[in-house]
Amino acid sequence: MMHELPVSAYTSQEWFDLEQKHIFSKTWQFAGLVEDVANPGDYVSVQAGLNNIFIVKGRDHRLRAFHNMCRHRGTQLLRAVGKAQKAITCPYHDWTYNLEGKLVSIPKKEEEFPDLCDKELHDCGLNLHEASVDIFKGMLFVHPEKNAPNIMEFFGEVAPYLGPHIPEELIEYKEKKQAPFYTKEINANWKIIVENYIDQYHLAHLHEGTLNMYDHAKAEFGWAGSHYHFYEPLVPAYLADIKNASPYPLMDKMPDDKMGAYVPWLFPNIGITESESAWNTFHAIPLAPDRTLVVIRSKTMNVSEWEYTKQYTKSMASSVWKTMGNKGKYEGEASDPMASGDFMLEDVYACEQQQKSLSSPLFSVGAQAKKGEFAVSKFQSVVKEWIENHQD
Amino acid sequence: MSEFHQLKVLEVIKETEDSTSISFKVPQELYETFNYKPGQYLTLRFTINTEDVRRSYSLCSSPVIGEPLCIGVKRVKDGLVSNHINNNIKVGDLVEVMKPDGRFFADVKKENYKTYYLFSAGSGITPILSILKTVLFTEEHSYVHMIYGNRSEDSIMFKNTLDKLQENYKERFILEYTLSRPKSSWSDLWKTSKEQTYRKGRVDTAAINWFLEEYPPYAQNAEYYICGPGTMIENTTKALKSIDVPDERIFIESFGGSNLKDTTEAFENAQLIAKLDGETINTIIPKGKTVLRTLIDAGKEPPYSCEAGVCSTCRCKIKSGKVHMKINLALTDQEVEQGYILSCQSIPLSNQVEVVYT
Ligand SMILES: Cc1cc2nc3c(=O)[nH]c(=O)nc-3n(C[C@H](O)[C@H](O)[C@H](O)COP(=O)(O)OP(=O)(O)OC[C@H]3O[C@@H](n4cnc5c(N)ncnc54)[C@H](O)[C@@H]3O)c2cc1C
Ligand code: FES
Ligand SMILES: [Fe+2]
C-alpha cells in the first residue's frame, strides 16, 4: 500500500483508466491562462480526461465551451489554438456551427437529409454538446458538463490561502515563442509527482542546496476543500538583500511582511508556484500509468526589458547566490541531476527513482512523516473518494 | 388578492431636484408579507381627486441588510402620482401599499460566482440598486459591472450610496456613469471633491459595446439586467442580442409610459360584458377608457396593480370581440394567441367585447 491507495494505483492501466473516467472527466480541468483566448473568435482546445473541449470567446466577450466533436460523424473539429473564427466548420463534410454551437449549415441538406428538412437546423438536436468554462485566479478551467458545479464551490475554500499575485496583470515569460516555459515527460505516475510537490519534509533534504533561500522551518501548510495550501517565507539573509538579489523584478502585490513562496496544489492536477518574483502554473498531465507530462508556464511583472536587465545585473552581483539556490546535493558533473544545482531536476530524479521501485515485490511505504508528509495520504484519500463515490 | 396594507412613512429624502426616496415602516406582523426579492416592486394606492389610482414603484432597498423598505420616485411631467408623492408625502403619513411582487429579480445566493451586468438610466436605478446591494453583500465571489446613464451630474439618483459602494467593493464592483448632457466644464472648477470622470453619451449601442469590451466578464456565468426608459431598454437589448448574448441571460424591467404616441382609435361606446368574481357585468366603455377603468368606474373591483402593462395582474381572457392593447410588456405571444389580454391596456375595436377574469 501507498498509505491510502494500493501500489497498483501507480502502475496499472486499470487504475489509469478509472482515474481518467472518474477524476479527470468529472472535475474542473486546467485549460490555460485567460490571455490565451483574448479576442472574440479566439479559441483553444484541450484534452480534459476523456473529453476534448474547446473554449471560444463570443462577441460579447464571454467564453463558451463545447465538446470538440462534430455531431455528424464525431470528427474532432478544431485544432489546438486559433484566431478569429466566425463559424466552425468540420473538415470532413463541412457541417458548420456558429460560435453558439448551433448547427447552421449542412451541404446538400435537402437531397441527403430529407428528414431534417421540415425543421430549422438548430432545432434538429444536432448542435454541439455544451460544456462549461470559467476563470479562477487568471486561469481557464473547463468542465465537461453543461451545468457544471460552480467552480467557486470547488476552489472557494483554498482561495484565501493563495498568494496576493494578480496573474492577469503579469506577462508570460517564454524562451521560445509559442512554447511554454518548461515541458518535460517524466517517467512516473502523476500521483508520484503530486505527492512530491506537496511533500514539505523533502525540501530541506533533497533540495538542501537549491531551495535554501526559503525558510522551510517556518512553512505554513494544510488542506482546504480538496486542495493543498503552502506558504513559506524567505530566509533572513535573502530577505535582507531581496531588492538586489531577486532574479526578476519583485511582485508589486507582495506585502513586505509576507514575502515568500505560496505553493498550493489544486485537485486533481494543477499546482501553482507563486513566489516573490514569479508566478507559475505546474500542470501534471497523465500520459500512461508510469508517464506524466509536466507543463510549466511562468509569468513575471509587466515591466520594461530594461527593468529586467537591471534586476538581473543586480541579482548576479548579490552575494546571496554564493551560498544559496544553486548548489547540488552531490559533487559531480552538471549533467547529473543531483549535482546540477537545479531543484526541478532533483525532483524529477526523485520521482523517477521512486517509480522504479514500485514493481519490486518488496516495495512498501515504511512510515509517514506526521507533519511534513501529512498531505501525501490526504491527497491519496481524496483520489480514493473520487473513484469510490463516482463508480457505479 | 390585491390586498392593501397601511404602512407608515419613516423617512422622506429629496434625492435630486426632481426625485424623492420614501422609506416605510413595516409592522412585525407583516414582515412575512413584505418579504421581497431584490428587483421587485411595491404597488401604492392613492385617492387623488376622488379617483382611485395605483402605481408601482421598485424597491431600491436591499432585503438582506436590515434596512427599511424604500422606493425612489422621480417626477414625470404632468404625472399624477409621481408629483403627488414628490409634493405631498411626509414622515408619519400612512400610505396604502400592496405586498412586493414582480418577476424581475436576481436569485442571489451566497455561493454564486457570477458577473452581473447592470444597465440603468434615470429612475431605472431603483431595482438595479437593490440587486447591486444584495449581490455585493451576499455573493462574496461575484462581480458587478454597472453603467448608469443620466442627463447631467445633478440628476444622478443615489449617487452617494453608489460612490460609497464603489469605494467599499473596489475589487468586485465597476461603476461607470454616462451623461447625455453634462454641465459645461467651467462649473466644475468650484468643486473641491476629488476628480470624477464621466463618460459622455447615452446608454446606447456604442456605450454597450465599449463597456463590454472594456470590462469583459471575469466569472463566466454572466447575467444582464436592464431597467430604464423605453428607448434605453430597446437599445440595450438590441445591442446585447446583436453580439450574441443569449436571451435567457437578459432580464428586463420596464416602467411603462411609452412616449410613442399610440394612434389606434377605439370603437366608441362599445358594449362590455365582463365575468368577474361570479358576477356578470354589462356596461358601456366610455371614450378613452380601458376595460379595466370602465369596471373600476362602475364601482367594481377588478384585480390590477401597475396599470402600466407590466405586471399582468389585470389579465383576463377575451371571449368575443376585439381589443387593442396600448402596451403589453407582460404577456407572451403564446398567451396573446390564447386570447389573454391586459385589461388595463385594452381599448375596444368592436362594438361588443366579452371578457372573463379567472
Ligand atoms: C413595475 C414598475 C416599477 C416602477 N418603478 C418605478 C420607480 O422605482 N420609480 C419611479 O419613479 N417610477 C417607477 N415606475 C413608474 C410609475 O409606476 C409611474 O408610472 C410613474 O411614476 C408615472 O406615474 P404618474 O401618475 O406620475 O404619471 P401619469 O399621470 O400616469 O402619466 C403622465 C404622463 O406621463 C407618461 N408616463 C407615465 N409613466 C411614465 C414613465 N415611467 N416614464 C415616462 N413617461 C411616463 C404617461 O404616458 C402620461 O403621458 C414603475 C412602473 C412599473 C410598472
Ligand atoms: S395592471 Fe399591471 S399589467 Fe395591467
Ligand atoms: Fe521538490
Residues A221, A111 share a domain: no
The shortest CB-CB distance from B217 to any of A61, A100, A151 is to A61
Residue A58 with chain B: CB contacts under 8 Å: 243-244
Residues A168, A131 share a domain: no
What confidence score (pLDDT) does residue A131 get? 98
Domain count, chain A: 2
Residues B203, B141 share a domain: yes
Q: Is A142 among the domain residues?
A: yes
The closest-lying atom of ligand 2 relative to the alpha carbon of residue B329 is: 3
Q: Name residues 83-112 of chain B within 8 A of A (Cβ).
A: 111-112
Grid cell listed for A188: 512516473
Residues B70, B119 share a domain: no
Q: Give the pLDDT confidence of A236-279 residue by residue, as tens digits.
A: 999 999 999 999 999 999 988 889 999 999 999 999 999 999 99
Q: Is A68 among the domain residues?
A: yes
Assign A359 a pLDDT band (cuts: 50, 70, 90).
Answer: very high
Residues A191, A49 share a domain: no
Residues B250, B122 share a domain: yes
Residues B249, B124 share a domain: yes
B307 lines ligand 2 (CB under 6 A): yes
Grid cell listed for A30: 486546467
Q: How far apart are CA B353 and CA A306, in angstroms?
A: 82
Taking the CA of B342 as reference, the closest ligand is 2
- Select from B40, B41, B45, B304 the residue to mutate for testing ligand 2; criterion: most ligand atoms less than 8 Å from CB: B304
Residues B89, B130 share a domain: no
Q: How far apart are CA A191 and CA A377, in angstroms?
A: 11
Q: Is A119 among the domain residues?
A: yes
Residues B228, B162 share a domain: yes
Residue A300's nearest CA partner among A249, A236, A228, A345 is A249
- At A178 the three-state DSSP class reads coil
B308 lines ligand 1 (CB under 6 A): yes
ipTM confidence: 0.87
- Cβ(B346)–Cβ(B323) below 8 Å: yes
Domain count, chain B: 3
Residue B113 with chain A: CB contacts under 8 Å: 134, 150-152
Q: How far apart are CA A81 and CA A46, in angstroms?
A: 9
Q: Is A384 among the domain residues?
A: yes
Q: Is A117 among the domain residues?
A: yes
Whether A13 and chain B come into contact, CB under 8 Å, resolves to no
The closest-lying atom of ligand 1 relative to the alpha carbon of residue B82 is: 26
Whether B212 and chain A come into contact, CB under 8 Å, resolves to yes
Distance from CA of B349 to the nearest CA of A (A): 36
Q: Is A19 among the domain residues?
A: no
Whether B29 and chain A come into contact, CB under 8 Å, resolves to no
What confidence score (pLDDT) does residue B310 get? 87
- Select from B312, B326, B327, B357 the residue to mutate for testing ligand 2; criterion: most ligand atoms less than 8 Å from CB: B312
Residues B190, B165 share a domain: yes
Q: Is A2 among the domain residues?
A: no
Q: What is the DSSP string of B176-209?
A: EEEESSPPPGGGGGG--SPP---EES-SSHHHHH
pTM for this entry: 0.90
What confidence score (pLDDT) does residue B50 get? 87
Question: Percent of chain A having pLDDT more than 90?
Answer: 83
B83 Cβ contact partners less than 8 Å away, ≥ 6 residues apart: B75, B76
Query: Taking CB atoms and an 8 Å limit, are A133 and B220 in contact across chains?
Result: yes
Residues A347, A210 share a domain: yes
Whether B245 and chain A come into contact, CB under 8 Å, resolves to yes
- Cβ(A124)–Cβ(A192) below 8 Å: no
Residue B244 with chain A: CB contacts under 8 Å: 58-60, 99-100
Residue A233's nearest CA partner among A206, A263, A205 is A263
Residues A207, A121 share a domain: no
- What CATH number is associated with residue A73? 2.102.10.10
Distance A330 CA to ligand 2 centre (A): 84
What confidence score (pLDDT) does residue A392 get? 60
- What CATH number is associated with residue A238? 3.90.380.10
Q: Is B202 among the domain residues?
A: yes
Q: Give the pLDDT confidence of A109-129 residue by residue, as tens digits.
A: 888 888 886 778 888 899 999
The shortest CB-CB distance from B219 to any of A58, A61, A135 is to A135
Q: How far is CA A83 from CA A59, A78, A136, B253, B325, in A?
A: 13, 11, 23, 37, 48
Residue A132 with chain B: CB contacts under 8 Å: 220
Q: How far apart are CA A159 and CA A163, in angstroms?
A: 9
Residues A383, A334 share a domain: yes
Q: Is B56 among the domain residues?
A: yes
Residues A169, A119 share a domain: no
Residues A308, A230 share a domain: yes
Residues B215, B168 share a domain: yes
Whether A153 and chain B come into contact, CB under 8 Å, resolves to yes
Residues A374, A239 share a domain: yes
- What CATH number is associated with residue B17? 2.40.30.10
Query: Taking CB atoms and an 8 Å limit, are A151 and B113 in contact across chains?
Result: yes
Q: Is B105 among the domain residues?
A: no
Q: Is B259 among the domain residues?
A: no
- Select from B45, B101, B310 the residue to mutate for testing ligand 2; criterion: most ligand atoms less than 8 Å from CB: B310
Whether A60 and chain B come into contact, CB under 8 Å, resolves to yes
Query: Taking CB atoms and an 8 Å limit, are B113 and A59 in contact across chains?
Result: no
Residues A336, A261 share a domain: yes
- What CATH number is associated with residue B318? 3.10.20.30
Count of Cβ atoms closer than 10 Å to residue B45 Cβ: 16
- What CATH number is associated with residue B237? 3.40.50.80
pLDDT in tens, chain B (358 residues): 568 999 999 999 999 999 999 999 999 999 999 999 999 999 999 999 888 899 999 999 999 999 999 999 999 999 999 999 999 999 999 999 999 999 999 999 999 999 999 999 999 999 999 999 999 999 999 999 999 999 999 999 999 999 999 999 999 999 999 999 887 655 555 554 556 778 999 999 999 999 999 999 999 999 999 999 888 999 999 999 999 999 999 999 999 876 566 788 889 999 999 999 999 999 999 988 999 999 999 999 999 988 888 889 999 999 999 999 998 888 988 999 999 999 999 999 999 999 999 8
Q: Which domain holds residue B217?
A: 115-254
Whether A104 and chain B come into contact, CB under 8 Å, resolves to no
Count of Cβ atoms closer than 10 Å to residue A371 Cβ: 10
β-pair partners for B14:
B20
Query: Taking CB atoms and an 8 Å limit, are A61 and B244 in contact across chains?
Result: no
Q: What is the DSSP string of B106-155?
A: ----TT---EEEEEEEGGGHHHHHHHHHHHHHH-TT-EEEEEEEESSGGG
Q: How far apart are CA A194 and CA A154, in angstroms?
A: 18
Q: Which domain holds residue A48?
A: 29-147
Which among B254, B278, B299 is the end of a domain?
B254
Nearest alpha carbon, ligand 1 atom 4: B57
Q: Is A220 among the domain residues?
A: yes
What confidence score (pLDDT) does residue B300 get? 92
Q: Is B61 among the domain residues?
A: yes
Residues A169, A142 share a domain: no
Q: Is B109 among the domain residues?
A: no
